[in-house]
Structures are given as C-alpha cells and as structure tokens.
Amino acid sequence: MSLKEKFIKKTPMFVQSSAISLFNTYQYKVRHGGEYKKIREYYAKVESFTASQLDKEIKKKQKSFFKYVKRKSAWYNKLNIKDLTKNIPLEKQDIINDFDKIKTIREKDGIVSLTGGTTGASMKVVYTKKDMQERFAILDHFRAQHGYHLGRKTAWFSGKNLISEHDIQNNICSHYDFINKIRFYSTFHINQDSFHVYWQSLVKFQPEFIVGFPSSVYELCEIADSLGLQLPTPVKVFFPTAETVLPKHREVIGRVLGCQLVDQYASSEGAPFILECTHGRLHIHPLTGIFEVVDENLQPAQSGELLVTSYTTHGTPLIRYRIGDNITLADSKETCSCNSIFPLVERIDGRTSDYILSPTHGKVNLGNISNSTKNIEGIIKFQVIQNQLKALQVLVVCSDKFNQQQKESFRAALVERFGDNMTIDIIVVDDIATEKSGKFRIVKNLLDS
Ligand SMILES: [Zn+2]
C-alpha cells in the first residue's frame, strides 16, 4: 500500500476529500502551467491547416523530435532518421530492462508515470513537464470540442482504490474533489450488491460528464438496464479511457445515462492520439506522432498491430514502440463530414493479447467474443479464460433472467465462434474480479503467460 493509500484508509472522509481536492489542484497546476496555454492555442490553430501546411508542420515536428532523441538517448544513438522502418521496434520489455539507457532526463526533473503491465511487471516512464503539458493541452482541447471543461460536474471511474468495503457498507463509493467538482468513484467495488450505493450517488450528484473505464460504467449501466432504470438527469458525454470500447458499451451506456460516448486512444506510457470528432469518426492526430499498422511480418497493413512513435515522449522516447494494440485504418480515399483532413481510423480493435486460440478457428478476437452475448438476456458480465488449447472456462455474472434456455443460446453462440472441438465450461459466479489496475478483462488468454 502506498503512503497515499494508507493516509486515505485511516483518515476521516472530510479530511480525505480536502486532501484529494488540494492534490488535484496541485496536479492541475503542474499539468496546465508553463507553456500549456501556448500549446493549446497551437492545437486549435492546426485544425484549419491546409494539406501542405500540415505536411510541413509534421516534418518540422518529426525532425526536431528525432534529432533530440538521437542526441540525448543512449538507446537511440544509432537511430536511422532517414528511414524509420529500418529501426527495430521497441518492446515493453526494453522499457522495463533498459529504462536508464532509454530515458533522457532524471526522474526527479520530470513526471514519473507507472503502467501496470499485463504479465504483472510494472513499467515506468518519465515525462518532461513540457510534454505532460502538451498532452493535457491536446486532451483538454479535444474534450472542450465536446463541451467539457474543468469545473463542470464530472464523475470519474478510474483505477484508484481509495474506498474500503467498510465505506461501501456505509453507502460511500466515491471521494469528492469539491474544488474542481470531480467525484472519484471506486471501480473495484461495483457489483450487484453495491449497485444501489453507486446508483443513488449518481442520481444525487447529477454529473454532466463521465470519464473513465468503459467496462466499469458499462457494468453499472447493465445492472440498471436489467432493473429498467435510467438516470433522471441525462449525462452529456461519456469519455472512456484506457480500455477498448465495444459496440455493446455504446448501446447500453447511451440508453441508461442518456449520453453520447466519445472515444479516444492514448496511453499512460505516452502513445500519440486518436480522437473522435464531433461527427463520430476517429481521426489520427498527425502532429502527435506516427501510427504504423503492421502484419505479423512487420509489413504495412490496413488492419493489424500498432507501432507508435510519439512526439510527446522526450523524457522516455517511444519510437516504433510495440504498444500491444490493434487497429483498422479506414480506406485512404474516405473523407469525414467534419471536414478534417486528419487520417481516419475505421476502428480500434483492442489489445493484441485479447484473443482466444481455437484449434479449428484460429485466433478469435475480443470484438467477436464480446458479441456472443447479443440477444441473450441476463448476462451482466462475463469472462472467457483459456488455460489449455482445447478448453475454456466462461465465468458469468447474471440476473435471474439468465435461465437454462438463455444459457444454451449463449453456449451455442460460443461454439459458433470457437468451434465444437473445445470444451466450454459455463460457470455462474457472484462476481468476477477486476485486474490490479482496476480494469476488467473479458478475455484472459493464459496460454501466452
Ligand atoms: Zn471527422
């Protein structure tokens, strides 16, 4: 437990809320100080650039970033600037093992960010303050286009475990930053028993915006939906973070909270940005970095794994970084009705490791698996675990609508996806734990680890 968590567990709620308000205000000052204002104006301006202006600006940003990295990072001193594809991809393991060689500044001179790795190894990167300010300028500009700014009532669902079981029993599921009007909800305690604590809190708080893990907000909404509930005061926008958004998320969250879901792609280790426009399409922001989509042989592809190069990672440079996510690019001839010339992405397909390996059907991806509950009633959440090549455990948290007939339909949908050569064991459970990061995973492929 960190000092901060210890403090939180032992201190009265009012003092905790004051501390959280002050901490957030301090963090806000760091993130929004320095050149933040100038950078934010820059990001507003570049949106109306012509193709040739944009091209020139991209080249300028690339050149200055690559020159800096080559000079300052021992890891990249042989970087091939002329032909990026000649450089071998940077792996997560490299950042964990060779952090000191990759980074260009001392930790105490920058801002350290920790990422929970999938295999349990935690990864650390350090940002320069200026890059952090740039990242927040980009995000704030994006959110402002959808009506948000700091000080609007916001419910936050992220992975900080600041609530105890005891708090839940006392009807407390969140902490309130009363200076910035942000209510931080625990994502670790959402289940059917605690649902009413969360629901009553949301009804009373009347947030205008929600930010956080889609799986957490979805779970709350799925339970509400099964009870026929809708939020009396609709939320304006839900900004999901950190996880892949599934079609089902949009549908159920929209229905229960009355809001629009506006997606984005970024990551705590500093990936460049993909942002949803006001016309509902995803655009790559070409001034934040390079997105290479490659196949299994690292050859360019329309749909496949991402290698990212990010211009806001001067502290811990990411060049051709294998981030572990898959996307599908839109046809390059396609244009968006929002008139932006930023490249279009068809969809974000989720993590590369989110698949089940079937002996007959090959890799079955997350999108396909999450679709298996379509038209099946009573499933609140489920998780597919693969320990062996020919056997799956499927954990299901359900309401009483999930009867024998629904269970058989669900099994049939799973067999359709994985083939009939696999043993599928459907087990009804009370709850399925989230990961240490507070995120929920539908697919757990344990063959790899
Ligand atoms: Zn657009």
Q: For residue 281, how far is its CA from the centre of ligand 1 (angstroms)? A: 5
Q: For residue 280, how far is its CA from the centre of ligand 1 (angstroms)? A: 7
> Is the Cβ–Cβ distance between 94 and 102 less than 8 Å?
yes
Mean pLDDT across 75-98: 94
230 three-state secondary structure = coil
Near ion ligand 1, which residues have CB within 5 Å? 277, 279, 281, 336, 338, 340
Q: For residue 125, how far is its CA from the centre of ligand 1 (angstroms)? A: 32
Domains (ranges, CATH) in the chain?
Answer: 3-264 (3.40.50), 355-445 (3.30.300.30)
Q: How far out from the chain centre does Cα 11 lie?
A: 31
- Beta strand 303-310 pairing with 289-294: antiparallel
Per-residue tokens: 449: 């680890």
Mean pLDDT across 199-210: 97
Burial class (CB in 10 A: 0-12, 13-18, 19+), 350: buried
Q: For residue 271, how far is its CA from the centre of ligand 1 (angstroms)? A: 20
Cβ of 337: how many Cβ atoms within 10 Å? Answer: 10
Give pLDDT tens digits for 45-59: 999 999 999 999 999
- CA-nearest of 321, 329, 305 to 271 is 321
Q: For residue 332, how far is its CA from the centre of ligand 1 (angstroms)? A: 14
Q: For residue 141, how far is its CA from the centre of ligand 1 (angstroms)? A: 15
Q: For residue 365, how far is its CA from the centre of ligand 1 (angstroms)? A: 27
The DSSP call for residue 90 is B
**Residues for the chain: how many in total?**
449
- Give the torsion through C-alpha atoms of 281, 435, 325, 264, to 10 deg: 20
Q: What is the structure's pLDDT at 119?
A: 47
Q: For residue 247, how far is its CA from the centre of ligand 1 (angstroms)? A: 19
Per-residue tokens: 210: 């929600």
Mean pLDDT across 288-310: 96
Q: What is the structure's pLDDT at 150?
A: 83
Mean pLDDT across 345-362: 89
Inform me whether the pLDDT recorded for 426 exceeds 70. yes
Mean pLDDT across 62-66: 97
DSSP codes joined into one string, 401-413: T--HHHHHHHHHH
- CA-nearest of 244, 255, 260, 259 to 222 is 255
Rounded distance between C-alpha atoms, residue 233 and residue 12, angstroms: 30
Q: Which residue has the tokens 């909270």?
A: 257
- CA-nearest of 325, 326, 308 to 317 is 308
Per-residue tokens: 317: 């440079």
126 three-state secondary structure = strand
Give pLDDT tens digits for 271-294: 999 999 999 999 999 999 999 999
Give pLDDT tens digits for 225-281: 999 999 999 999 999 988 889 888 999 999 999 999 999 998 888 999 999 999 999
186 three-state secondary structure = strand
Inform me whether the pLDDT recorded for 8 exceeds 60. no
- CA-nearest of 220, 225, 227, 243 to 174 is 220
